[in-house]
Amino acid sequence: MLVCPYGTFYINIGWANYPYNSANGGPVDHIYQMYSNPEAIEFEKARFRWLIDNLGDSSHIFAWELMNEMEVYRDPDLTPAENIALHNAWINDMGAYVRDYELSRYGKAHLLTVSVGDPSFPESLGDGLPSSAIYDSPELDFVSYHTYGTDMPNTWEGVPLWSRINPLGYVLDLHALAHTVRAKAPDRPILDTEDGAFLRGPVPFPWWQDYDEADFDETFLAANWATFTGSAAGPGLRWPASPPYEIEFEGDILNLGISETQADSQLGIARFVAQVDWTAFALERRRRGRAN
């Protein structure tokens, strides 16, 4: 599991009832102040201490995601460069704190990351901006990026998010997006941990309304390999995990969120990865040419 105690998307939606909100006796007036207010930061550290005390020795946890899509919530009174500097300071401070606390408890620590909702950040805010610690902080272990297709020019047949998807364009864009993130973080793993262009709820969105399960399975398989071969450390994670696909495992009914066929496509990548000696792996690009 990738555990994130601060799902900023939902915090923002429910801000009126959120305990950090000053209207409810909390320390801040706005969500973006969670990165700078000393009392809010102490609350955040206390929350991570609780998670580590209760879950830190679990082998089922893959990593701690310190903050979800942090770059989305910026202080409007600060310049883009000042916001990046503020976020970078939070990342480095919280990352060091969480790792040191977990090491002090167990002598080992889980991986750390902070997700980015806009893989073109910070270039999307302007030229000449400082690098974001999301990509290069020494306190983080891998880059976690999200996409909902708005930054994928070949994916949509019309208006992004509200038109049909071109499946081939979608797959090609996922591959290219991984390369975009890789260029920002050449020396660490990258993972697409939230692929929302594959949305499907109880009522299918317009772009998937004529897809049957076989179409979903085929698109899912192609998307996984496109992201992985784009230099990601694994396949992208579909979001949301719906509709439910239930299987029986050791007497329990599990809701995978993906079909058995889709799960098998992920296992296929795992089987491939297990066959490669990555310590000796060297990337060599070849261009296909015509035979003489």
Q: Which residue has the higher pLDDT, 126 or 5?
A: 5
Mean pLDDT across the stretch 125-141? Answer: 93
Between 28-42, 66-80, 144-158, 201-215, the lowest mean confidence (pLDDT) is in 201-215
Per-residue pLDDT reduced to its tens digit, 227-244: 999 999 999 888 765 555
Dihedral in degrees, nearest 10, Cα atoms 182, 184, 187, 188 = -70
Average pLDDT across the chain, whole number: 88
Residue 69 has pLDDT above 70, yes or no: yes
* Residue 253 scores a pLDDT above 60: yes
Provide the pLDDT confidence category of residue 126 given band limits of 50, 70 and 90. confident
Q: How confident is the model at residue 291 (pLDDT cuts 50, 70, 90)?
A: very low
| 3-class DSSP state of 272 | helix
Residue 8: the pLDDT is: 94
User: In this predicted structure, which of 20-29, 37-46, 116-125, 155-164 has the lowest mean pLDDT?
Assistant: 155-164
The CA-atom distances, in angstroms, between 245 and each of 254, 259, 274 are 8, 5, 27
Measured between alpha carbons, how far is 273 from 233 in angstroms, rounded to an integer? 10
- Whether pLDDT at 200 is above 80: no
For the entire predicted model, the pTM comes to 0.89
With contact defined as beta carbons under 8 Å apart, do 123 and 73 qualify? no
Asked whether the predicted pLDDT for residue 186 surpasses 60, the reply is: yes
pLDDT surpassing 50 at residue 221: yes
69: left (phi over 0), alpha (psi -120 to 50) or beta: left
Grouping H, G, I as helix, E, B as strand and the rest as coil, residue 2 is strand
